[in-house]
């Protein structure tokens, strides 16, 4: 299940359904396993690419890649890869994409992380990413699973992506209302919609699309 589908679904569901959807995604990712390969493509920083079978467990140092399903895996240095594209069963159309980027850390967003893999939600003048985190078990309920989704956004000329929303099942609007208007400050009408709660965290994807449409129209002038 892609996160583009996930966000669109959130816009149509009530909050009580959110946790159920999130846990289904977590369970799906767990079933995939650490050593699974999927049809995919590596896009390198020099603009070249390779199509084959890409390991779904993405390492920070290297990515395991096979030229065919039965070929021996080779370790491709992560620093040479810009984007990992996982393909649908037809081997041609994109299912999920991950970019290797840096993000700003913490609430004040003054420090920058090392490179990591972040899933593309919406590409554009400002590209939206998501990073999922799961916390499993406690001494009281070792079988419980909690999921958190952190959303980041970046323009092409920026050194790192900035956090724009957190989805964790409670207070989901806090980060979006605080950070999104700052990021979209060059488009005051959009920033105001967020500040006045006309747009909430459920409108995250809508707001990014609206911003990109506005920014693209400005570039044409």
User: Residue 174's pLDDT band (boundaries 50, 70, 90)?
Assistant: very high
pLDDT given for residue 134 in this prediction: 58
Reading phi first (left if > 0) and then psi (alpha if -120 to 50, else beta), residue 30 is in: alpha
Strands (E), 11-61: 37-44, 49-55
Q: In angstroms, rounded to a whole number, what is the distance separating the alpha carbons of residues 205 and 122?
A: 8
The pTM for the full model equals 0.79
**pLDDT tens, residue by residue, 56-95:** 988 999 999 999 999 999 999 999 999 999 999 887 788 8
Tell me: the pLDDT tens digits for 122-159? 999 999 999 987 545 444 444 544 478 999 999 999 99
Tokens found for residue 98: 């991950």
């Amino acid at each position: 299940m892609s996160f583009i589908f996930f966000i669109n679904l959130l816009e149509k569901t009530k909050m009580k359904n959110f946790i159920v959807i999130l846990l289904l995604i977590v369970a799906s990712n767990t079933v995939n396993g650490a050593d699974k390969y999927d049809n995919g493509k590596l896009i390198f920083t020099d603009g070249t690419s390779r199509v084959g079978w890409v390991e779904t467990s993405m390492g920070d140092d290297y990515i395991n890649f096979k030229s065919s399903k039965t070929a021996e895996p080779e370790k491709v240095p992560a620093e040479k890869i810009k984007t990992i594209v996982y393909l649908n069963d037809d081997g041609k159309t994109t299912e999920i994409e991950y970019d290797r980027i840096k993000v700003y850390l913490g609430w004040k967003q003054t420090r920058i992380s090392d490179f990591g893999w972040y899933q593309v939600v919406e590409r554009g003048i400002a590209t939206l990413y998501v990073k999922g985190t799961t916390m499993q078990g406690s001494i009281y309920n070792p079988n419980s699973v909690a999921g958190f989704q952190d959303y980041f956004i970046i323009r092409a000329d920026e050194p790192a992506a900035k956090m724009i929303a957190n989805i964790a099942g409670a207070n989901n609007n806090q980060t979006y209302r605080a950070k999104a208007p700052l990021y979209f400050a060059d488009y005051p009408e959009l920033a105001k919609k967020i500040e006045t709660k006309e747009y909430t965290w459920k409108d995250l994807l809508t707001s990014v699309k609206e911003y990109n449409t506005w920014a693209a129209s400005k570039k044409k002038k």
